[in-house]
Amino acid sequence: MKRELTKEDKELAEAGYEHLARQKTAGQQEGDSKLDGVDIHEHKLAFTELEGELDTSFDPKDPGLSTGLSTDEAKARLSRYGPNILTPPKKKSALRKYWDCLMTMFNILLIIAGILEYILLGVDYKDNFPNTYLGGILIGVAFLNAFIEFYQLQKSEAILASFLAMIPPSSRVVRDGTIMTIPAAELVKGDIVLVRSGDKTPADLIVFAASDLKVDNSSLTGESEPQERFARPDGVEARPVEAENLLFNSTLIVNGEGWGVVVRTGDHTLIGQIAALTGNETGKQSPLAVEIGRFVMMVSGIAILFAIIFFVVGITTVYKGKGEQTVTFAVSILVAFVPEGLPSVVTLLLSIAAKRMAAQNVLVKDLQGVETLGMYTSSLLTLLATDKTGTLTRNQMTVTNLWSGLRMFSAFQSNNDSDDTEAFSIGTPGMREMVDIAALNSHVKFDRTDLPFEQRKILGDATETGLIRFAGKHIQDYDGYQKQHPKVFEIPFNSSNKWALVIVEKTHQQGVLTAYIKGAPERVLAKCSTYLHDGKEVPITDDFKAEYDQAYDYMASRGHRVIACAQKLLPSDVYNSSYEFNKTDNKYPSTEYCFCGLVSLEDPPKHGVREAIGTLRLAGIKVMMVTGDHPKTAEAIARKINLILGETKETLSKKTGRPVEEIYDDEVDAIVIHGDDIDGLQGWQWDQIFAKNEIVFARTSPQHKLEIVKRAQALGHIVGVTGDGVNDSPALKKADLGIAMNISGSDVSKEAANMILLDDNFASTVKGVAEGRQIFVNLKRSIQYTISHSTPEVIPQLLYVVVPIPLPLSAILILVIDLGFELFVALSFAWDKPETKDGLMRMAPRKPVNERSITSLKKRALRRTKTLRRDPETDEIIRPSRFSQYMMRVKAPFTREFWEDALEPSENETLVDGKLLSYAYLEAGVIEMLGALVAYFVVFFKNGFTPGDLRRAQTALNNHPPITYFTKSSPDFVNSRGRVLTGSEQVEALAKAQSIVYLSIFIIQCFNVFAVKAKFRFPFGKSIVGNYYNFAGILGGACLGIFIIYTPPLHVVFGGSFHLSPLYWLIPAAFGVLLLVWASIRVLLMRKSIEQSRVKDIKGLMMFPTMRTMSMRSKH
């Protein structure tokens, strides 16, 4: 039973995905051609052919006697082929970077305004000489802004460059018949290299000698099990990734040692090919860059528009034909509107935040990345796609349960086990045999044997390491036990057998040899005819198989890896001490084994992962797992770590007894998708998947991960990806925020990511999210604070033209406001702390992706799709010309669809939104404007000018002949009370009035520092006033303001008067208090909407350490 979608529904669902299909086809064609160009074929060659092709010499029988290349030949090849390094992406020159920083809209406006002032100087030097300072300051500010941003970018890149290393620093190589250590960058084709357990492979090698060599390819191919590598004298006919004689650059040697000859270096290695795949994916511009860019364009447009309007009004009223003065006036309007210090503030805020995040073990590769972590969580609905192995789990196997003799045992005390699970005891029948198999059927080695067993580092794969750790606890003398029971014969584990066999000297009643086998349960059970029960061998029955299936399912469903163990007591009449075992002729015991039991090993989640995922989900972030593991294992792990809490169709089917096909999609909230199904998914199916709150993708390839990211982004999600392998790098690059691991992460994944977790701890992501959300809030506060002074700067200019009144604020004083005290205080917001303990981490996303937003997005996409022209033969889209695109943009505002889209209600909150602009321009801005004008008129009144007098004095400019007041050479002015005011008194009155306007804006802005923070609480609490840097910024701004106003030598440039009484400061202080009162009323008015935007509690969320962690703690 399925709920059928109509044709219209499917058409709508498919909308928005078409561009992905086109990209996929093009990408595949391009990717295939690149792979064909650097294909590896040497693994197919026999040793003699390999020596001839590479012109080198090696000895497969005794590798240590190989001569290798001569030093001179190696130098010649190095100059011919180039160093063994991956080519980093092309970087811009320092000059180009500075140019990009300079060519932002604000800086361009400032430079143009400054140049205009100097043009006026050339037109009339005498009258326009004061503008010399203004023009120079405007241009200097633009270059200073660009330098601050450039300096911070260079500093950030320098830190990263010192941290990232793309290949291993050194390698052991044979040159001139001698083993030496050289920088890995100097390796060339034909070099003979020795690799040992724990090494990173320095280049692509063909193995010609190996001893128990195993390599961890998980970071390259996604294979979780270490792969054994062999010497193949005749070569192998297989794909390079499947060749048993190939070691790939940057893969980790986990066991044994091997000798290889270098066949590929640098970009020609397999890792270089995948790096090329990553290079195909272009990084997206961060949401912060987009929003600030939009804000800059909007403010710049408004500034230019008002400057033009004021120029026209000014030249027709106050300045009547005086073009030079009108231009200066228009420039002052431009300067008033443009927050010149904003780019510097944003860059410095992010730089400070980057350093703080580094202290939280989160390294930010670029400044925009700092905010993205908070942006995609707090501003946009986030989809965090995380890898499992090494990211959520430790990649450390630990024995958890044993099943033997139809009884289940726990390796340690655990509350997770069923009631009939018994505690492990070595004396229990069957347990000694299980421990012996774990200890004696093993290939692990130790870094040192002179230390106690518990202190040794085990060199081997994670599964065998877990078994040995377990066995070592129950064997008193591990080294002595190994010597007491030496190996006679062994067949190592491989991917085709899926079992490992060892025969050791261990005496029993029937003989002196014992065979132990371990491996995949179904393979081992097939070799058994009996099972061990209470120390006796009992024939295997159907009842036993049913019990076995139940135990196997119990272990696997908990996300554990399950290993089966069996033994065979070899009778001496057949297998005596002189028997020649041989695996090629099957001269070894392969049947009639006695099944000893099952062992489950857990790859436990990293400490804090469960709480971290719970916290992220409570913060409104959708977390999903994208892994290469088996679906059942992935789901079991997901249920342990808060990633899946609800039912999937399969679990609901098992609970209710209904067939899976009869369960509707909206009945379940969780889904597990197999990688094999991804390629066939249609648009409406992707929509259904991403509509779930709990998602797991299993058995995925690198291309699958990339496809998942693209599909999520097509629905409007801002996607974060965490990963540590090369196979994660394409998705990391495409994601809005790529987060790589430092310790376990591959070089390519670090290169592709925006952010790196220095301690490999997934829980650090939560710290980053909390920090990022606070950065967003701090940025918003800083912008809100910075643009609040635009209204008290612009409205007085308007009154100067319209009323008119003497100019309340000169252009140069406006610049001092924007780049003086404002800069000090705006920067101090970087150290603001959250208003409440968990307020930000419980707020709903600011840009929710829900059914409504997706439908709206798809309708627009469908409308665009239907207007596209297609080739009638190939059905390919014909792209319109640039002129056509331009004309479409011009016509758009005159269409119905344009206004429907523009006026469509949205739940989004952007960095600069209507609420912020309303507060800055209409609320705080108006209060500041009123405070400044009241102080302005009071100061003029105390100096003999009523508002009527000011208007009469200013309109005298329109007389015939015009009379200019408020200059030293002005005629006496008789006020309305009959008092005669000389030119010097007029100048002094104007200087005082302009000074108080300047100081009024500063004083009220000091109160605004705390008013802009009031969202959850009133602007008086400790969290509001607890940032001491705010007070330091205010003190710095006060010192600057008083210095400018009360220092006579500076009056030549800035104006001002040291005769201004501090008593006048009380007027703006009163308006500052009024602003705080209004901020408090605003908190009350907004309280309900804020409460509604909080994320509701999630039922079943487990905000405590995993039981595994608790059990181990209780034991110790």
Catalytic (active-site) positions:
387
Residue labelled with tokens 């190592």: 492
Cα–Cα distance, 878 to 867 (Å, whole number)? 11
SS3 state at 404: strand
Tokens of 1023: 């969290």
Residue 5 identity (one-letter amino acid): L
Contacts of 323 by beta carbon, 8 Å cutoff, 6+ apart: 315
Distance in angstroms (rounded) separating the CA atoms of residues 188 and 575: 50
**C-alpha distance from residue 1053 to each of 130, 228, 1056 (Å):** 8, 79, 9
- In sequence order, the 6+-apart residues with CB closer than 8 A to the CB of 564 are 518, 519, 520, 521, 523, 524, 525, 595, 597, 598, 599
Which residue is listed with tokens 């980053």?
768
Q: Which residues contact 684 (CB under 8 A, 6 or more apart)?
A: 5, 9, 10, 13, 14
Residues 733 and 342: beta-carbon distance below 8 Å = no
* Residues forming beta bridges with residue 174, ordered by sequence position: 179, 192
Task: Please name which of 189, 192, 190, 183 lies closest in space to residue 165, comparing C-alpha atoms.
Answer: 183
Separation of alpha carbons 467 and 438, rounded Å: 6
Residue identified by tokens 């995949």 is 520
Residue 1094 backbone class (left: φ over 0; alpha: ψ -120 to 50; beta: rest): beta
Segment (H or E) for 214? strand 204-216
- According to DSSP, residue 378 is labeled I
**All residues at 6 or more sequence positions from 55 whose CB lies less than 8 Å from its CB, including other chains:** 190
CB atoms within 10 A of CB 354: 25
* Secondary structure of 893-944 as H, E, C letters: HHCHHHHHHHHCCCCCCCCCCHHHHHHHHHHHHHHHHHHHHHHHHHHHHHCC
Task: Give dist(CA 503, CA 501) in Å, integer.
Answer: 7
d(CA 705, CA 514): 47
- Name, in order, each residue with C-beta under 8 angstroms of 744's C-beta and a sequence gap of 6 or more: 219, 390, 395, 724, 760
Structure tokens given for 49:
């052919």
Give kind and range of the element (H or E) at residue 228. strand 227-228
How many other C-beta atoms lie within 10 A of the C-beta of residue 438? Answer: 26
Task: Please tell me whether residue 765 adopts helix, strand or coil conformation.
Answer: helix
Q: How far is the C-alpha of 349 from the C-alpha of 827, rounded, in Å?
A: 6
